[in-house]
Each structure stands twice: as C-alpha cells, then as structure tokens.
Structure 1
C-alpha cells in the first residue's frame, strides 16, 4: 500500500470522524456560533491565498460560481449537517453522508445530461435504498418524539448531501481555471460572510466559560481537518491513484463515523444501520471497481 492510498484513507477518516465530532460540539455550543468559528479558523489559516493581485484575475462569472459553491457547499451544508447530527445518530449521519458520490452522479444525470452507465445506476439505486432504510427505521425503545427528531435529522443530513453534491457539480468548471486551494479559500471567505450575521447574533449573551477547553480544541480541529487536512490529503492522493479506485475509499467515511458514534458517543448500531451501510458501501464498490477484462477466446 503506497502513501497516496494512505492519504485518501486518512482524508475519509477525517471527514467521517468529523460527523461525530460535530455532534459532540453542538451538544454544548450553539450551531450558528460553531459554524461561525469554523469559518473564522479556516479563513485565518487560508489567509496566504487571499492575494489581491491574484484575486483580480478572477472573472465575474467565476466569482458568481464561487459564491454559489459557498452558498451550497459551505454555508447551507454546514447548517444542515450540524442541525442534522444534533437530531440523529452519528452512525446514521455517516451512512447518509457517504451517498455523496451517488448523488453527484444523479445530479449530473439530471442537470448535465451525463448519462450514467449501468454500474453508476446500480450505485444510485443502492444509495437510495440505504438512505430509505436508515431514515425510516426506528431504534428500539425510541419514543414518537425522538423518532420524529431522528427523521428530521436524517432528512437534514440528506439535504446537506445534496448541497455538497451541488458544490461538486459547480466546481467542475472552475477547476479548469483556478487551483483547488484557491477555490477552497474563496468559498470559505464567502461562507464566512454569509454566516457572520447569524453567528454574531448567537454571540450575544453566550457564556463562553461554560464550554470545556476540550470542546474548544475540538472546534479548532474540526475546522482544520474539514477545511484543510482532509482537502489537502484527498487532492494529494487523487493525483497518484486512479479515479475509480479512489472512489472505493469513500467507503471509509461511514466506517469512521460509525466507529466514533459507537466508541465515543456510546451509540448502538441497529440492523437497519447495517443493511443501509452494506447498501451504500456495496454501491461505492460497484461504481468504483473496474470490471475484469476478459481475454478473447482463442481462434
């Protein structure tokens, strides 16, 4: 196993564990405040990318595209994801989040008329089945109120998945003219501007002393791993690993989320979680692994 494969695995482990870490953070910090802090940390770290001479070369159309990416991929995604994990389990959220590749293929089919092959269609169907199973299932001993809350949370996470998939579709064109790191920096700057009015309101009257030091460290880690580390590792690894094979490693996302949920949060996975995870991971494998080439029969 070469180091670039390890980069891809580490990237997905960061993304998956962040699902659970986000749930831990919003237990003590308001979602809007946490979201604001996440963007502040990211923009500070990405500050070297904001060079006026370089930014002037970005066209008006590219800025509009960047704003739309920020609206869907950073602002709405963050709010829906954090609101979702606050209401549902990290295990369920991880399973739903891992359907992003299938949703990207679905959106490309609908809006870009990119007709998927049989394997991609199979992955989309399995992803839909997995999401339906985990969304409609009710955990044992769960009350009507908590069941409704989990359903709302799952739907919010699914909304976050569609937002992130929209971001991926929008970014395709920009990657031809802007570097991935520039796209990351500019979309986070827009994200901060969008989040600031809401986050600043949440600052009023908030007791910062009530938040444990460990939670503040988790906020910094979440911001760095979500915006910098996982992004850099994935972009570094994808250059040296075939795209189809790289897709397989997205299966590490729900595994990491489930592991955090079970080990750290004490969640109990159900049969529905197992079925949904099998569907999603199976779909990823079908879409990503190349079929074996059959040798032509001897004359």
Structure 2
C-alpha cells in the first residue's frame, strides 16, 4: 500500500477510536470521577507503551528543551484540557450532540491556523467555518427538550471548548522539527498526560469507593487506555507526519460519524432533528473546506 494511502487509513482509524471516546467517556464518568479515571487511563497507556519503546527503539530519543516544551503543551491541550472539558460536558449534554459538535474540528483548525499561523483560508474555507458554527448554534438554540442532558447548552459549550484544545493538539504536532516515531511520540504524550492528571486523581481516589465500581466501569477505563489512547495516538502520529495539516483536518470528520453511530448502537441514544440538522451543517462545512 502506498505510504500516502496508508497515512489516510491511519488517520481514519485514529478518528474512529477518538469518536468512540464520546461513548466510552459517557459510561466512564457515570462511575468514576474525571481526574481519577483519566489518571488510570494514562497509567495503563504508559504501562503498555514504555516497554514497547524500550524494546523496539531502545528508549526515547534525545530531544531539545524546546521540543519537550512543545510536547508538554501538546499533551496539556489534547490529553488534559480536551479530556476534562469533554468528560465534564458529557455529564450535561447527550453524546449524540457532543459527537456533532466535535465535527467542527476541521473548521476550528482552519480558524486557528489563520489567526496564529497566518495561514489565510480561501473564501470556501471561510464559508465552511461559518456553516460549522451554524451547526453548533442549531444544537444550542433548538431548545433543551430534545435528546440531551441536564444542561445541554452549557454542556455543548464545554464540548466546543474541548474541540478548540483538540485542534491545538493536532496543530502543535506539526511544529515539532525533530524526527519522532509514532511510538515515541505516543509514549511522551501519555507520560505528560499522566503527569497532568495525577494530582487530581490522587485527591479523587481518596474520596472514591473503588469497590463500588462495576466491571463495566473498569472495562471502559481499560478500553480508554488501550484503544482510545494507545492505538489512537499511534495511528494519528503515524499519519499526521505524511500529510498536510489541512488534509489531516478533513479526516477528523470521521470522528462525529463514529460518535453518532456508537451513541445509537451502544447507548440507545435517540437521534433527534437537532443532531441531524447540526450534523448536516457541519458535514457541509467539511465538504467546503476539503474542496
């Protein structure tokens, strides 16, 4: 398989797994507090990745202080802030709505690249950004009596903030000049992820009855660590270095499709007209941006 096609497959698989995090996260936060669950997730991921990078690559490569700072910032945005805002948002809104909002990632990436990287988008990309914003507004202004949670408007805003941090996470990786294998990058990001969540996780562990957590809760934590973290990171870092940022952004459209389908299949989440209309606007924006 040509390397370019393989990169596309890797990016698609990564976004399928990230999309499943919306469903897995909804289940996980019902039994475990956010910081504790996330600390356990990254501890498991690091337990898997550290021996692999040691055996296959002899350990982590030597990196400059600036690169370490960039990787720490990348992990802060994508591992910590994205997770905190997404999981807290899922306690207030429905996973289907959250899945639609996460599909604004391509537009958000384009906007951030425009403002901070001076990558001015074309007219079609601007229209795509506006259409993406319209999709989010449909979800928030359609009313709170549809499929959702206790406070869907605020929950949707938290998920939207998570999208911003995820976009920064995806863009920062392209600014690292030194060669870094997908395995090494995944290990470093997971290590920083554990570092960010450990203090809050320790505090929450002291007030959590771990014996009351069901087998399903532990299985979801295991899935989050092994699949959403390890495999998703490996797939994404294997593909992101071989395509342009704009191309990678288009593949994030796979994420909301995965989230919506799994929300209906696993959680029996009803898909209302708000989700369909919002998803239509967002997918239209992706078509405009990708063209």
TM-score scaled to structure 2, two decimals?
A: 0.87
The verdict on how the C-alpha distance between 1:230 and 1:28 changes in structure 2, with shifts beyond 3 A counting, is same
Q: Which residue of 2 aligns with 1:108?
A: 113
2 CA distance for matches of 1:141 and 1:283?
A: 24
Q: Cα 1:281–1:67, aligned 2, differ >3 Å: closer, same or farther?
A: same
* Pairing 1:68–2:73 present: yes
Give the alignment partner of residue 47 of structure 1, picking from 33, 50, 61: 50
CA contact (8 A) 2:23 2:262 kept: yes
CA contact (8 A) 1:88 1:151 kept: yes
Larger Rg: 1
Paired residues of 1:90 and 1:260 also in contact (CA < 8 A): no
Contact 1:50 1:185 in 2 (8 A): no
8 Å contact kept, 2:89–2:158: yes
Alignment match, 2:286 = 284
- Of 169-178 and 193-202, deviating more is 169-178
1:97 equivalenced with 2:127 (yes/no): no
Separation (CA, whole Å) in 1 of partners of 2:112 and 2:243: 25
CA contact (8 A) 1:137 1:272 kept: yes
Q: Which residue of the partner structure matches residue 198 of structure 1? A: 200
Q: Which runs of 5+ in 2 are unaligned?
A: none
- Structure 1 residue 155, shift from structure 2 partner: 1.0
Contact 1:247 1:284 in 2 (8 A): no
Matches within 5 A, 1:1-299: 4=6, 7-48=10-51, 49=53, 55=60, 57-140=62-145, 146=150, 149-174=151-176, 176-236=178-238, 248-289=250-291
The two structures have a TM-score, normalised by structure 1, of 0.85
Distance in 2 (CA, whole Å) between partners of 1:7 and 1:55 is 22
Q: Secondary structure of the equivalent of 1:267?
A: coil
Aligned length: 286
Report the 3-state secondary structure (helix = DSSP H, G, I; strand = E; otherwise coil) of the residue aligned with 1:46: helix
For residues 35-65 of structure 1, the C-alpha deviation after alignment (integer angstroms, 9 at most, x for no partner) is 1111111111111336998657211111111
